[in-house]
Chain A
Amino acid sequence: MGWVVRGWCIIICLWVCVPGMVMAEQEHACLTCHANKDIWDGASKQLLVDKDIFESSVHAVLECTACHRSVEGSRHPAEKPAPITSQICTDCHAVTGKLHRDRLAKGGLTCIDCHGSHGIQPIAKQQETCLGCHAHEMNMKLDDGSFASVKVDAQAMKGSVHAGLRCVDCHFGYSSKDHPQRHFKNKRELTLTMTDTCQRCHYDKYSQTLESIHFNMNRKGNDKTPLCVDCHGSHAIQSGRAEKLVSARRCQNCHADIYAAYTTSVHGEALVSDHNQDVPICSDCHTAHTIKDPNKAEFRNNVPEMCGNCHADEKLMKKYGLTTAVLTSYLEDFHGVTLSFYKDEKALRHIAVCTDCHGIHDITPTKGDHAVLLKNNLLTRCQKCHPDATANFPDSWISHYEPDLQRAPLVYLVIVFYKFFIPFMIVGLILQIFLHLWRYAVNR
């Protein structure tokens, strides 16, 4: 009995394995030579087929001869096979879109020039598909007669924070269908149409922009207000926190005069000449996305807190020999007290904040020669709110220092007087009361 069972086992095994072995044999036959790195056609064309890449491709199920139809075992390699033409592809893949038809009719490029050959992937997974055309200098005609370049700098794209993304992640209208032809009135309309794409990942930032002055102006029909790509760039997009100077210059495109004033300020100068990364840039005060109208009370009333972000930071101010008392001394003074209430009330009336004395974008240093300049300018600045202020008036603000005998003797003496006088009086009077009560009790 044993040999009958063994015999059947062998027959069944052969029946199952042989067809597979024959199929595998054909590929193996090709790869016997083509898996070799040293296989070249002449000096320029390497004939290597990477088995792993092929097996991960969508065409892994196909046999080599499905595409390389003219290869016949007996005559190969003596007889060279015919080159792969687009027609081989179109036998299976119908060409429907105008763009493809035009491109194929024009000749020159074949399907594999864009889509690749052995490593072919679904279009949505393949960067090279798009770059097949868009890596070259090419322009798109717009309705206004102008041209917009649709070339993509592949190198810059690879160096960007979006290097891991595929084209269709942003250009999502192009993934599943044939490449649509689009019409735009002008270049700005093209950008405006594309701008929705960023919110698909950066929804938090997008929702912040909804409150911004830029978005609101855009809503009202101003198409010049910046969109994501105007500040961040498109394909060569970099991290927003990379380098402060780069970030500040983004605003310069539209706000050139303000940027110029900023570069003369104590902050801007340190940024431009020393690349100081501690100084505030545009977005530190105005924020990057929630940019509010700086002429509104809501923004103004927040200024001391804003400056305090750095100027009340003990560690940071120590580095520059500055005092952190600037914020507290302001908040304790008449203007600061008023401001704290205005903030609660969301009042529209203005009260002097840091920028009213120190300047807005052209903030000067407060030491050395600048101190004199600042002081000289102070009267005009006071007069903005106190039109009849005279020469001595600015001194009524005894600066950001605790009053002492040198700087403000009168104020200092008044404080010291009451510091002793109030306890002296009250303790004295309470003692009198107790003595009076005591005597009354004793007499009874």
Chain B
Amino acid sequence: MIVRLHRLRLVEHWVFAAVFTMLVVTGLAQRFHTQAWAQWTVNALGGIDTMRAVHRSGGIVCTLLLAQHLLVGICGILFLHWRPSMMINKKDFTDAIHNLRYYFGKTPTPARCDRYDYKQKFEYWGVVFGGLLMAATGLILWFPTLVFKLAPFLPGQVIAAARVAHSNESMLALLVIVTWHIYNAVFSPEVFPLDTTIFTGKISRERMLHEHPLELERLEQPSSDELR
């Protein structure tokens, strides 16, 4: 077994997963407020005011989590010589096309990926930018008057736009998680019945060989320098 993720990254993932679930529940209950289950949820959580307080607290946790993640990442890259393995590069696009050709049987082997393949990068940056958008629009909705104090030039409709963006972006995030992420982490034949890396932080050499061959090559070279 090869160590793939630092323990703190595992904690980070599960805190985020828990808060994300809570935000989804309290958010959906507001979006689908006319539904009986939404009303039940709101009542169960002690009324709309209490539920909104819970939702906003969850939003703060997510925002802080995202901020520390970006800060740690940037500092690691700048000062600790971490490999910027999440950066999108030209190879990700060619890998994507390569794999599409592979799926259709045009090439015999799949793309040889590095530490993170293009699918993982897509999901990662989706979470980062989606998270930033959710945090920004959430704060706008929480402090609508402050927006115009800080930026008097903004038109009033930014509040209404933030509302539709917050609502739609959350739906997108939820749908991506329940389809794409759950498939890749649970139902994909390569990991089924469960990708245990997110619990143990470790990955088998065999899977590395299939999924991250370039990283494996580098790791097994004596000059491999860092791992995180």
Contacts and interface: CB of A to CB of B under 8 A. Distances in A.
Contacts of A396: 144, 156-160
A344 B179 contact: no
Contact of B164 (A386, A415, A442): A415
Interface in A56-80: none
Contact of A345 (B48, B148, B149): B48
A389 B158 CA distance: 14
Given A341-B42, A422-B168, A386 B144 contact: yes
B179 A426 contact: yes
Q: Give the bracket for the number of chain A residues in contact with chain B.
A: 35 or more
Contacts of B160: 396-398, 403, 408, 410-411
Contact of A347 (B49, B103, B183, B189): B49
Contacts of B165: 414, 418
- Say what secondary structure dominates the interface of chain A: helix
Nearest to B172: A422
Contacts of A408: 157, 160-161
B48 A410 contact: no
B121 to A, nearest CB: 14
A8 interface: no
Contacts of A394: 156
Nearest to B123: A429
A146 interface: no
B33 A411 contact: no
A431 to B, nearest CB: 10
A396 B34 CA distance: 23
Nearest to A413: B161
Nearest to B153: A392
Contact of B145 (A338, A388, A433): A388
A432 B99 CA distance: 10
A410 B140 CA distance: 15
Contacts of B157: 395-396, 398, 403, 408-411
Interface residues of B, number: 45
- Say what secondary structure dominates the interface of chain B: helix
Nearest to B159: A396
A340 interface: yes
A388 B149 contact: yes
B156 A411 contact: no
Contact of A410 (B161, B168, B188): B161
B155 interface: yes
A430 B179 contact: yes
B33 A337 contact: yes
A408 B156 CA distance: 9
Given A396-B159, A425-B176, A390 B148 contact: yes
B43 interface: yes
Given A415-B164, A438-B103, A421 B145 contact: no
B172 A418 contact: yes
A391 interface: yes
Interface of B: 30, 33-34, 39, 42-43, 47-49, 100, 102-105, 119, 141, 144-146, 148-149, 152, 154-161, 163-165, 168-169, 171-172, 175-176, 179-180, 183, 188-190
30 contacts: A334-B141, A338-B48, A340-B33, A341-B42, A341-B48, A344-B43, A347-B48, A386-B145, A390-B148, A390-B149, A391-B152, A392-B148, A392-B152, A393-B148, A396-B156, A396-B159, A397-B160, A403-B157, A408-B160, A408-B161, A411-B164, A414-B164, A415-B168, A418-B172, A421-B172, A425-B172, A426-B172, A426-B179, A432-B119, A440-B189
Q: Sorted from nearest, which 7 A-B pairs have the closest CB atoms?
A: A395-B156, A396-B159, A341-B48, A418-B168, A435-B103, A396-B156, A410-B161
Interface of A: 334, 337-338, 340-342, 344-345, 347, 349, 386, 388-398, 403, 408-411, 414-415, 418, 421-422, 425-426, 429-430, 432-433, 435-440, 442
